A and B are shown apart, each in its own frame.
Chain A
Amino acid sequence: MLNLLWLVPFMPLAGFLILTASEGRLPRAYVPWIGAGSVGLSAALAASLAFELLALAPEARVFRQTLWHWMAAGDFGVDFAFYLDALSLNMLLVVTGVGFLIHVYSAGYMADDPSMARFFAYMNLFVFAMLILVLADNLPLLYLGWEGVGLCSYLLIGFWYEKPENGYAARKAFVVTRVGDTAMALGLFLMFSQLGTLDIQEAMARASTQWPAGSALPTAAALLLLGGAVGKSAQLPLQVWLPDAMAGPTPISALIHAATMVTAGVYLIARTHALFALAPEVQTLVAAIGAITLLMSGFSALTQTDIKRILAYSTISQIGYMFLALGVGAWSAAIFHLTTHAFFKALLFLGAGAVILSLHHEQDIFRMGGLRRSLPLVFWTFIVGLAALVALPFTSGYYSKHEILLSAYGSGAAGPWLWAAGTAGAILTGLYSTRLLLVAFFGTERTQAHSHYGSNIGVPLVVLAILSLAGGLAKLPLFPALPETGTEETGGSIGLATTAAPFLGVAIGYLVYRTGTASAEALLQLPGAETLRRLWFSGWGMDWVYDRLFVFPFIALARLNKGDAVDRLYQGIVALTRLGHCMLVPTQTGQLRRYAAGMLFGAALILALGVWS
């Protein structure tokens, strides 16, 4: 049964190939069946694989499958091979499970779109690439999946290609992540040149034996891999692409930009945790990046008005938590939060999609309001999702976030600071979630909603809501793929403060947006508040900085040198030749006798030279 592992990624690939080959001529009714069906089969297969693998003893939960010899040159060789252990199984289930639900949802969401076949083809390709990423046995194959999901992200963000701004967002996402990917590729080269292999398990084993902890090589390698991770996972300083990526259809935002692809960086670091453990400075950096990112994007989420951008910043913030966990060595807590986040953030995006669909593509929360009555199902599932997001007790998000914050507190000297940042982030999360809920779903109805969604939108919402609530109980055992980190019991007051922080945020939000005790407008009257709001709204002005640092100079340079300066050199030679031509033209008088005289003098000169020399 485990031998069928290869079918899990290749089923979506088959779906992609069928949908592409049909060139959109397939009857519309069949398209979702192929698109969602292929992923559904994968999910079923993945589930049965999970039962089989988990039935084994923890140490034996490893399965390798080599499909073919990919490439070899000299002492370098990699196979097209899959590696299944508890960590990749966890990812496998998330990707196929949540992926399947989102595919089902898409059948409803995209029902009226003329390019539905193309949409499902891209989605299937994405699932294929993502599965390759999580199953890869070696780093080049992981890189294949890594770039593949990036490509699909590009294709799907720019899915509605008639609008140039969608294309811009798509290219921005691809290029920015490519910056990180290039760092990651260099990391691969470094690891190969030093360790002589790119097989993940083998490389980790060799790194642990060959490299002393804290030395320069593991630090450099970990830093380069971290570059890839922050690009893909939209962390500081490469987080700028994710908010713009919301230009894509909403199911895409749920699948790619919330549940799966953006967490690939977390997966990468967890996968290569042995390397990061050798580089304590880099690990501290990971934690710091996570802490700063979660705070910065939490503030940004506070000021957004577009429902999807709020959720996008919230995603960046939640991945910040995962990085925080990775940085303090709480590997399994990071993966746990990844899993629960996949549930509740997919739920929130799908709910937002249902809202947007009902409001005819209205995304501004201040033009919504009162949706509580018109869209009751969406409202209740959305509340569940938000509760998990802000980590109210007994939701899935509570367990994972709590574990992260407690691990952070107990992690050495910087621990309390990291904990404080995380807890402040939790307050922010409560605040912006409450704001979103109260503005969009309560109050007066500002846009007429037409709830014309069918069961293929409703069912995924309900299933995901159940998972968001109960997902915290079904935590997959990740040992021995990831080392066990016992969360030592910290003082009760810290645990209490961690639990209470979201409530504080919710309370503030309630006071501001429900009772009007403290009005947001009044806050904005304070000196400097408007500037701050604008700064947060623009994502701390990072786009502005990058435009001026990289984009504009590059474009200016390209414009300046459109005609290729090197060609001037050759044009110079041409000009010189022309000049010589012009100078000698007057000697061509057409006077035969002058030519004869010229020949005479020439001959005399040569003779004279011959005689006198």
Chain B
Amino acid sequence: MILLWLILVPFIGGLLSLPARRWRDYAPRWLALAALAVDAVLVLTLFADTGAAPKTDWLAQVDWAWIPRFGIRFHLALDGLSLLLVGLTVFLGFAAVLCSWTEIRERQGFFHFNLLWTLAGVIGVFLALDLFLFFFFWEVMLIPMYLLIGIWGHENRAYAAMKFFIFTQVSGLLMLIAILALVFLHYQTTRSLSFDYFELLEADLYPGAARWIMLGFFVAFTVKLPAIPFHTWLPDAHTQAPTGGSVLLAGVLLKTGAYGLLRFVIPLFPGAAQDFAPVAMTLGAVSILYAAKLAFAQTDIKRLIAYTSISHMGFVLLGVFAGNAQALQGAVMTMLAHGVSAAALFMVAGALQERLHTRDMDKMGGLWTLAPRIGAITLFFSVAALGMPGLGNFVGEFLVLLGSFRVDTAITAFAAIGLILAPVYALYVMQRAFHGPASPCEVRDFGIREMGMMLCLIAATAWMGLHPQSMLAYTDARVNGLTRTLAQRGP
């Protein structure tokens, strides 16, 4: 039941924030905070119930008949992986609401409605274990995000929102086709029509079909991830989205793609995934390098951060398809750590835009003198992004490379060049925006609200870097299950 409430609370909060605007101007954002607080309590209850390390596979389940005629069930379940990701979602939900506090002035009710519905959709995606339900939530999180970009975005928002929508929609269509194909093939062999995850895990597909269906899922998830060559929606969407939207996009929405790979592609098609692994790992490595190079070339700070996201997600792709315990754990860690650090960087970029009314780094410079707090925080997260040991991103990248080195030395060595390119772009941001001679203008430094938020994110990043075991323990069971599946059903 608690799982259902996890989704329902933001749904209801969103609905309530629509009329709340008539009452008071600031009511919607407080309402959103309240809804998130309830969700946070629920998540913490789940963490408390679980203890330090989960003993069983599935920690909580909800399983009701929904459309029995087609074997569609309302099936939610939570394991350590989902728990961590739901926790990240709620955590970054707070960040998204707080960083929109002063930025969004128009149609606050509808803004928070969209924000909360996106979150609800994402949480649903992380919990759904019925493929139809999963697809439903997949679409639910898309449309509010489209509206967030399209209504509250920056100068080129219509183009960016449309691009985002079309990419995601086409990939969603591919996934729907793949789901239906999987269900029908399963029906043909067993005569039972079911969209249920556990039943489909048993599906016995002949290799050719498995490969094509796997590709359908793979493309859908790598568009979301995103990886080369499906990444081009992301720089536009991130650049044009309002800060809160960017935070959710980078912090959470991208993770749904990685989650899909871990939850569906590998367990459902272990053999096909293993055959495909060299290609996927190469795509991951190319993403890392190509996006890093593009990031270096940008002058728009949000666009730059967007490309770094692609670069980091390349590590996730590499890790997922390397498929051993280190690489998979590393992929999960990268998801969490990148969620926090990218969200923080987007918040900084949003704050800069709010203050300077530009995102062009050529027009910045010397900001450290004017706003040392912003400078120090950007420095921290740039350093986190370039993979400094002791911070979360390092643990993820290190484990990914450690694991993938065992699988494919050449690709790993190639991907490791990304470690050299990361400081090139990350430190260049610091140089262009914060160092150099100070300009004579006034810039308001971070206040208490922003500092509090940022300190939470800093604490999370440092915690993930210094004591990652507290998170790795939650996904240990799942990762071991995945490696076993790959070992048994692989070629």
Contact = CB atoms under 8 A, between A and B. Distances in A.
Contacts of B366: 162
Contacts of B263: none
A452 interface: no
Nearest to B416: A182
Nearest to B419: A182
A161 B435 contact: yes
A521 B427 CA distance: 43
Contacts of B376: 20
Contacts of B412: 186, 189
A70 B468 contact: yes
Given A147-B389, A190-B405, A76 B326 contact: yes
A151 B469 contact: no
Given A72-B469, A566-B228, A151 B296 contact: no
Contacts of B431: 164, 167-168, 171
B423 A561 contact: no
B485 interface: no
A595 interface: no
B226 to A, nearest CB: 11
A23 B472 CA distance: 34
Interface string B450-481: 00000000000000001111001000100110
Of B163, B369, B389, which is in contact with the most chain A CB atoms at under 10 Å from its CB?
B389
Contact of B298 (A140, A174, A562): A562
A178 B424 CA distance: 10
Contacts of B403: 73-74
B423 A162 contact: no
A74 B477 CA distance: 10
A175 B420 contact: yes
A182 B372 CA distance: 31
Given A70-B469, A158-B435, A189-B405, A561 B419 contact: no
A12 to B, nearest CB: 14
Contacts, number: 145
Interface string A343-380: 00000000000000000000000000000000000000
A23 B372 contact: yes
B325 A558 contact: no
A200 B398 CA distance: 17
Interface in B294-335: 294, 296-298, 324-326, 328-330
Given A23-B372, A148-B390, A557-B293, A162 B419 contact: no
B336 interface: no
Contacts of A140: 389, 398
Nearest to A182: B419
A167 B402 contact: no
Contacts of B423: 171, 174-175, 178
Contact of A182 (B405, B417, B436, B438): B417
Contact of B438 (A162, A175, A193): A162
Contact of B420 (A76, A168, A178, A561): A178
A148 B388 contact: yes
A559 interface: yes
B447 interface: no
B444 interface: no
A168 B432 CA distance: 11
Of B330, B373, B413, which is in contact with the most chain A CB atoms at under 10 Å from its CB?
B413
Interface string A126-150: 0000000000000010011011100
Given A72-B472, A164-B436, A185 B294 contact: no
Of A162, A174, A179, which is in contact with the most chain B CB atoms at under 10 Å from its CB?
A162
Contacts of A72: 469, 472
B211 interface: no
Given A171-B423, A185-B419, A71 B435 contact: no
Interface string B152-183: 00000000000100000000000000000000
A166 to B, nearest CB: 8
Contact of B405 (A23, A69, A193, A558): A193
Given A70-B469, A140-B398, A186-B405, A174 B427 contact: yes
Given A23-B372, A148-B388, A189-B402, 5 more contacts: A140-B398, A162-B366, A162-B437, A174-B423, A193-B405
22 contacts: A24-B372, A72-B469, A73-B476, A74-B480, A144-B389, A147-B388, A147-B389, A148-B390, A161-B435, A162-B437, A167-B430, A167-B431, A171-B423, A175-B423, A178-B423, A182-B417, A186-B405, A188-B402, A554-B424, A558-B294, A558-B297, A564-B232
The list of the 6 closest CB pairs from A to B, nearest first, reads: A74-B325, A144-B389, A189-B405, A558-B297, A73-B329, A161-B435
